[in-house]
Amino acid sequence: MSTTSATGAALPSAPKTSFWILCAVSSSHFLNDLMQALLPAIYPLLRDAYALDFAQIGMITLVNQFTASLLQPLVGLYTDKRPQPYSLPIAMCSTLAGLLVLARADGFAQLLLAAALIGIGSAIFHPEASRVSRMASGGRLGFAQAFFQVGGSLGTAIGPLMAAFIILPRGQGTISWFALVALTAIILLATVGRWYSGQNRRPRAPVAARDPSIGRRDLVVALIAIGLLVTAKNVYVAAMMSYYGFFLMERFALDAGTAQINLFLFLGAVAVGTFFGGPATDRFGRRAVIWVSMVGPLPFALAMPYVPLPATIALTIIIGLVMASAFSALVVYAQELLPGKVGLVSGMMFGVAFGMGALGAALLGLVADWHGMEFVFRLIAFLPLLGFLTILLPRKIR
């Protein structure tokens, strides 16, 4: 693949893979998503402290993730035309503000405000950070996207542990301790912003042309299919993040701390699957990886709500490993479908991920109030069936 196609946008690309930039942006993603993951991880604490029902918990998730989803495509579209290297540390300032509000909230309205501020930080961060990882890829698109995403997956996995060992035992006010994490991320992203700004001063590469053999109808069908695939994956993951702890507490009478540790095992598996999904995408092709990762979890998801605790844990680890490998393949595939729109595509992909996951979590909260948490997990087990929509993706893009 040429250097021009490696950028996928009217932005300069590094001639070689810039590992230090990939490490910096992945580390920032780790810190960002660790802080993002604190909110759902402390839902048991918030439920008891504010007497919340599952519908209100779903509403917090909806505000947090839907705020991010609405803004991300707009941020990406704007920065495709006007790159904003220093928007990354600004994004982290919003997350920092959200954490401080969350630490001192004294009512449901303030919880929603904190969720919105954290969501705004995510909305600004993800499109530009994804663009930076692509710029630094040196043509290794799947690897770079997975390396960037694995930082976020690790942060998401560590969040429940931080909640279990720091916040849940000591109380809501200890969330403010994580302001130090936000300040670290701001410093790191300022460094990334300087590199990004320097890249913008280089001569711009030509924008890659869209494959003319893929007609407009096929393009629209492929984009709809990708949106539904991302929806299926992220509704499942959002349900796990928001309700898996409650499922384990309801079905197996676990305490909140032990439930969060088991959530960490699932999210750790997601991180491992994310990392290996990138190299697999470069080697075997985007479409093949999407097939395996979207349809593969189906039998395990169907069995999980009915088996004993040890088997439940084992099956959720397998589901996390297999399903997580899809996202980097889906992002790169969509960027290849729409070259020159890296920010827009990244914003739409992450936006769909957050938004549909949030909407699904909110609706599933209502279902849980009506029918119980076990019913919710029997219901979401059918989501991997949407993986068969992969057949609609053009074969012309590997």
Separation in Å, CA 348 to CA 103, 144, 185: 30, 19, 24
CA-wise closest residue to 238 among 266, 204, 210: 266
What single DSSP character describes residue 213?
T
Residues 6+ apart with CB under 8 A from 365: 53, 54, 55, 56, 57, 58, 59, 61, 242, 243
Residue 66 has pLDDT above 80, yes or no: no
* 3 state SS of 329: helix
pLDDT: which is higher, 212 or 261: 261
Percent of all residues in the chain with a pLDDT value above 70, rounded to a whole number:
89
CATH value of 21-392 in 2.40.50.100, 3.40.50.150, 1.10.3720.10, 1.20.1250.20? 1.20.1250.20
Q: What is the mean pLDDT of residues 66-92?
A: 81
pLDDT grade, residue 14 (50/70/90)? very low
Report pLDDT for 177.
92
- pLDDT bin (cut points 50, 70, 90) of residue 328 is confident
Q: Which residue has the higher pLDDT, 374 or 150?
A: 374
pLDDT of residue 10: 40
Per-residue model confidence (pLDDT) at position 354: 65
**Tokens matching residue 203:** 């001569």
Pick from 102-106, 311-315, 333-337, 371-375 the range whose average pLDDT is largest: 311-315
Average pLDDT over residues 213-237: 87
Does residue 276 carry a pLDDT above 80?
Answer: yes
Q: What is the DSSP string of 78-125?
A: HHHHS--TTHHHHHHHHHHHHHHHHHH--SHHHHHHHHHHHHHHHHHH
Long-range residue pairs from 304-312, CB within 8 A, at least 24 positions apart, any chain? 304/377, 304/381, 305/374, 305/377, 305/378, 305/381, 306/378, 309/248, 309/252, 312/248, 312/251, 312/252
Question: Is the pLDDT score of 46 beyond 50?
Answer: yes
d(CA 338, CA 236): 27
User: pLDDT, tens digit, for every residue of 377-391?
Assistant: 999 999 999 999 999
What confidence category does residue 297 fall into, taking pLDDT thresholds of 50, 70 and 90? very high
pLDDT at 208: 55
Higher-confidence position of 143 and 4: 143
Residues contacting 199, CB < 8 A, separation 6+: 11, 12, 14, 135
Q: What value does the CA radius of gyration of the chain take, rounded to a whole number of Å? A: 20
Closest CA to 318 of 298, 289, 343: 298
Which sequence spans correspond to the domains of the chain? Answer: 21-392
Check if the beta carbon of residue 133 is closer than 8 Å to that of residue 189: no
Instruction: Look at residue 307 and tell me whether its pLDDT is greater than 70.
Output: yes
**Per the structure block, which two tokens stand in for 6?**
């490696």
